[in-house]
Structure 1
Amino acid sequence: MHLRFEISGQILASLEMLNLSSRTLVYFTSDQGAHIEEISESGEVHGGWNGIYKGGKSTNWEGGIRVPGLLRWSGVLTAGRSIDEPTSNMDIFPTIVKLSKAAMPSDRIIDGRDLMPLLLGDVQHSEHEFLFHYCNSYLSAVRWHPRHSSSVWKAHLFTPNFNPEGTQGCFDTHVCLCYGDYVSRHDPPLLYDLSCDPTESSPVTPASEPQYHQILDVMQEAVERHRGTLTPVPDQLTLNNIIWKPWLQPCCSTVWEHCHCDNDTNSNTALNGTTD
């Protein structure tokens, strides 16, 4: 993480030096929470820490999917502002497409939403009323932020079985798996209100929440609508897709002796090209 911040600092300093800060949206984030079970080849425990949030990488507990989202755009975004609304890394794509004035694909459903109205304060609520959290190809949890409500409901359809029991990870398999005896399925789902229980320590029950059944009904209807939008895609892990193709090997490689790369030139070109 220290290395990531150091590199981020170098990028920001370079943008300042080139007078590109006012033309560049910088988004610092992560694709998952810390890997709790990480161990080096020599046996050193390098596992991360996710603060108050349960679980970590490969789980849909908050420790696995709640990640930092830090944005900077000098002269456009208000400094020091904090937005407490559910968003997704899927939002990066439509945000960039809109900013570049390109056309969104029309042959598929785009799950992401343009972040700029929320970042600029033009709207106060995320366009994501529902978010669907997957463990590999299995729908694992659903998040619902009702319009005009401060509650953020989250229902777990199944959760990983931590091992050893009482820990926050799956140390027997190095990472939590998504199927079979590695998970516990919940019927009815485990329901939490993240607005008052971000640690996911106390599931909501019919006794503690008068609208318990209505909340789950709404979320189940959203799941069915979501599943109705899914269509099969070709297998991306066929032998033809995963076999090594030498002709696609990058030129800067020890494999090819006939080509050479000027690292300084390539670095400068890449840096200058990122803001166009």
Structure 2
Amino acid sequence: MIIFLADDVGYGDLKSYGHPTQEWGPIDDMAEEGMKFSSLYSTNSVCSPSRAALLTGRLPIRIGVYGKYRVFNPPSPNGLPKEEITLPEILRDVGYASGMVGKWHLGINDYTPMSGVHLPHYHGFDWLGTNLPFTNVWVCDETKKHMDAPDPSMCFMYDNETIIQQPFSHQYLTKTFVDEASTFIRQQTENDKPFFLYLSFAHNHVAMFIGKDTEFTSNRGIYGAGIRELSWAVGEIMKDIKSLGIDNNTLVFFTSDNGGHNRDVQVLYNYLNFITPFIIVIGGKANYYEGGIRVPGILRWPGQISAGTINSNIVSQMDMFTTFVNLAGGETPSDRVIDGRDITQQILGSMKNESKTKKRILFFYCNDMLFAVRYGSFKVHFYTMPVKNKEEYADACGEGGFPNTMYFNCYYCPSECVIKHDPPLIFNVDADPAEEYQLDLALHKLLLLEVKHLLAEHNSTLIKGEELLSALNQPSQPCCDSSKPSCSCNYP
């Protein structure tokens, strides 16, 4: 089993999802050879909570992965709670070796700069290669287009549980991820051992980068080139599993942790050779329009999943937790609420697409505020964040077309920019994924009553986890050498 997790890749960013100018690549081949989801949702519109949900099958609010900062920061003393049971922990119990390479973003240290008590080894991963315990952020830019130099306090790379670069270099990052993932797969195959690989990419989060070893170009500028490098990396791993003769025995899932950046921001930056737009959805990362939470999703398993199929059911990324556990012969925990459903019958073709009249409901929280629900064909918004147009973003553009400030016009919740809707907004996102046409509340009273009833059922099972994303503790800040004020080290 393999999960390829992209970072901030939007619903319409891939050629196979309809982008008119993005080049075709191996991820698109996966879509032709397997199942493509048209209504797959992340649980959150930013990194840490969505990743916690993917690996546990549980809403972030139950886990405690919510709070003031919305994500884990380098000096946070908290991480994914040890009492949460992750996918690799369950798979380990049924004989799988689990490995990870790439971005983690679920905690690092507790109260010392090198304790590493929240890193992947403590959550079921037997093997851990090169990884970014935090993430690849704006201030890690090496091109000097955004700033003079990267900030070491935000930009560091680990090998297993040891810092090897602070700040880190992007130049061979993707190839390193691929090479190490390939080694892990080959070792497990040689030992005739089933494996789970979690390959979590830095593309296409800012700072945007293209490795010197690939040097892809694109009609879409640097953003499209990043998609090409991401797709190339997926293709290299797919070549491996084919050459090793394990293609028919390997279930592969590609998705993104949340949506990309707002459509109008991307339109502007595309014109300026930076980022490109979603095709049909509005909003993006950090907010709860479709662009922030509806993501690409592809499952491939030759001989088991029919090629070229489209799954139009409402599916959550949390469903992959439950489904992977079932397919591996494991058992989901019975002592807690698991929000992911087992969709084995859907993906193996023994059950046709579920009728929308079944009206599955998905809950979308920003911290502990319920922003929206997806219910059947409909989306109900209790809160929204404003989305500026490209003219309003133009002032944030510097010389050469690169932004000179952060592009979130609204990020924190609660905050003054968050808009409350009472009564709520309703959209038919099957017919109107851009959420442009608000429905008449008077004609949807029954829908709102059903949502109210389902919310009451949900709340009856909801026990909030301890809030983890509000605490910072400076001694937790990773530092390769505390004798250096800058904590800057680049080891050979």
Whether TM exceeds 0.5 here: the answer is yes
Find 1:201's aligned residue among 428, 436, 444.
Answer: 436
Q: 1:109 to 1:166 in 2, by over 3 A?
A: farther
SS state at 1:202 partner: coil
Q: Compute the TM-score of the two structures, normalised by the length of structure 2.
A: 0.44
Cα distance in 1 for residues equivalent to 2:302 and 2:284: 33
- Aligned positions, number: 237
Q: 1:25 to 1:45 in 2, by over 3 A?
A: same
Cα distance in 2 for residues equivalent to 1:129 and 1:109: 17
2:350 corresponds to 1:139: no
Instruction: Tell me if structure 1 keeps the 8 A contact 2:306–2:349.
Output: no
2:309 corresponds to 1:103: no
Q: Give the CA deviation at 1:235.
A: 3.7
Q: Give the CA deviation at 1:241.
A: 11
Deviations, residues 179-225 of structure 1 (Å, cap 9, x unaligned) = 23211111111001122212111011046x3xx11111111221222
RMSD: 3.1
Deviations, residues 47-86 of structure 1 (Å, cap 9, x unaligned) = 4422110101111111111111111101111000111111
2:456 counterpart residue number: 224
2:380 corresponds to 1:155: yes
Which structure is richer in relative contact order (CA contacts within 8 A, separation 6 or more)? 2
Q: Give the CA deviation at 1:95.
A: 1.2
Relative to structure 2, which stretch is displaced further, 235-244 or 55-64? 235-244
Instruction: Tell me if structure 1 keeps the 8 A contact 2:426–2:441.
Output: no
2:354 corresponds to 1:125: yes
Cα distance in 1 for residues equivalent to 2:420 and 2:473: 36
2:247 corresponds to 1:16: no
Instruction: Tell me if structure 2 keeps the 8 A contact 1:60–1:141.
Output: yes
Q: 1:173 to 1:161 in 2, by over 3 A?
A: farther
2:17 counterpart residue number: none
Q: 1:68 to 1:164 in 2, by over 3 A?
A: closer
Letter aligned with residue 445 of structure 2: H
Q: Compute the TM-score of the two structures, normalised by the length of structure 1.
A: 0.75
Deviations, residues 235-274 of structure 1 (Å, cap 9, x unaligned) = 435568982589xxxxxxx98x9xx9xxxxxxxxxxxxxx
Instruction: Tell me if structure 2 keeps the 8 A contact 1:130–1:142.
Output: yes
Instruction: Tell me if structure 2 keeps the 8 A contact 1:33–1:50.
Output: no
SS state at 1:180 partner: coil
1:243 counterpart residue number: 476
SS state at 1:133 partner: strand
Deviations, residues 103-141 of structure 1 (Å, cap 9, x unaligned) = 211121000111211112222318871101122332110
Q: For structure 1, which runs of at least 5 residues remain unmatched after alignment?
A: 39-43, 146-151, 247-253, 261-276
2:465 corresponds to 1:233: yes
Letter aligned with residue 191 of structure 1: I
Instruction: Tell me if structure 2 keeps the 8 A contact 1:35–1:48.
Output: no
Cα distance in 1 for residues equivalent to 2:254 and 2:475: 30
1:174 counterpart residue number: 407
1:30 counterpart residue number: 256
Q: For structure 2, which runs of at least 5 residues remain unmatched after alignment?
A: 1-226, 267-271, 397-404, 480-487
2:281 counterpart residue number: 53
Relative to structure 2, which stretch is displaced further, 118-127 or 9-18? 118-127
Q: 1:102 to 1:245 in 2, by over 3 A?
A: farther
Cα distance in 2 for residues equivalent to 1:113 and 1:130: 12
Instruction: Tell me if structure 2 keeps the 8 A contact 1:34–1:48.
Output: no
Deviations, residues 148-199 of structure 1 (Å, cap 9, x unaligned) = xxxx11100011022459879xx78632323232111111110011222121
2:341 counterpart residue number: 113
Cα distance in 2 for residues equivalent to 1:29 and 1:242: 35
Instruction: Tell me if structure 1 keeps the 8 A contact 2:305–2:349.
Output: no
Q: 1:137 to 1:3 in 2, by over 3 A?
A: farther
2:420 counterpart residue number: 185
Cα distance in 2 for residues equivalent to 1:46 and 1:56: 16
Instruction: Tell me if structure 1 keeps the 8 A contact 2:281–2:434.
Output: yes
SS state at 2:295 partner: coil
Identity of aligned residues (%): 34
